[in-house]
Structure 1
Amino acid sequence: MNLSEKFWEKKYETQKIGWDLGVVSPPLKFYFDQLTNKELKILIPGGGNSYEAEYLFNNGFKNVSVVDICHNPLENLKDRVPSFPENQLIHGNFFDLEATFDLIIEQTFFCAINPDLRLKYASKMRDLLSDEGKLVGLFFDAKLNEDHPPFGGNKEEYINYFEAHFIMDIFTECYNSYHNRQEMELFVKFVKK
């Protein structure tokens, strides 16, 4: 299964971006609104059009970076937020990234990568986080597709990927999901061990 840059660029070009809510995800907005440290170094991997990055940036979080394998969504974010720093819009493969962050936001990236990479994802997340850094976001709790994204899964499966690397501070059914994702998401806050 080749989920290459070309694969994803074609999705944007043909507007086959069903994962794109067009707004900041409600559970993430609720979480962001509780954050008080505007100096946090934040990463949004596979950020797509990244309404989350836009929301954070417009609310005073200036150390927000987005990494995406495609140019198209990074350009879309730049068009919507012209003052967003270019060097924080990273065109590249998440797994090649070398930096550290205080907080990494998961929003439809995990379900977009080949499931064979999930253990590698968990390990890479740990590597990218500073001491006591947090991975916060949403995972699908549903059986979805097996041959193309989005790929689903469940809590029991996910525990196997993350328990070696993280303290699972919050790992629960999401009560405030976007309307078309009700009863299909888990909200997580994992703290680096």
Structure 2
Amino acid sequence: MPGEAREHLLARVVDRMAEQGVSALSLRRLAADVGTSHRMLIYHFGSKEGLLVEVVREIESRQRSALSTMEIDPAVQPADAIRGMWRRLADPALWPYERLFFELYGQAVQGYPGTTALLEGVVESWLDLNVELAARRGVPAEVARTHARLGLAVIRGLLLDLLATGDRAGTDAALEAFAAGYEAGLPGLPGPRNGADS
């Protein structure tokens, strides 16, 4: 089936990029590395940009799955899930994908051909997941959505900071201050002092 073939091909491309990085990517070399042809990559993904967008979307999907797994565990408090997700995303092994994400995100916002598909769900998919997870803890959807947007902005902003400056200690400290706000129950945030309905 074409859809299945595309998914298998995308998985091989993601694995190859994890091993060799994404710099100076040539579609012909990539095709050879994953056992297909340049023509088949174009057939399935339309262009180099289209392929890169799908790689980023796949990596984002994997990160959402990881967050979902952490949040499903009732022993994991929201602040600990924030910390765990940050540790995962701040791993240098993911930096090439994250640089690619920010590069393509900027191009997509500018309307660069082949990249605008990245904007579909680039925020909403994370908000929807967090609203669903928060509902299991009794947080009203409208409150959860606002907090999810804030959390996404903080983590993406700190990732961009980390990639630009390499200041792991500084970004870790900023993330900890944000997570601690949930634990302490800052006004408007769900925490032990305010409760889910505050």
TM-score normalised according to structure 1 size: 0.28
More helix by share: 2
More strand by share: 1
- More relative contact order in 1 or in 2 (CA 8 Å, sep 6+)? 1
Higher radius of gyration, 1 or 2: 2
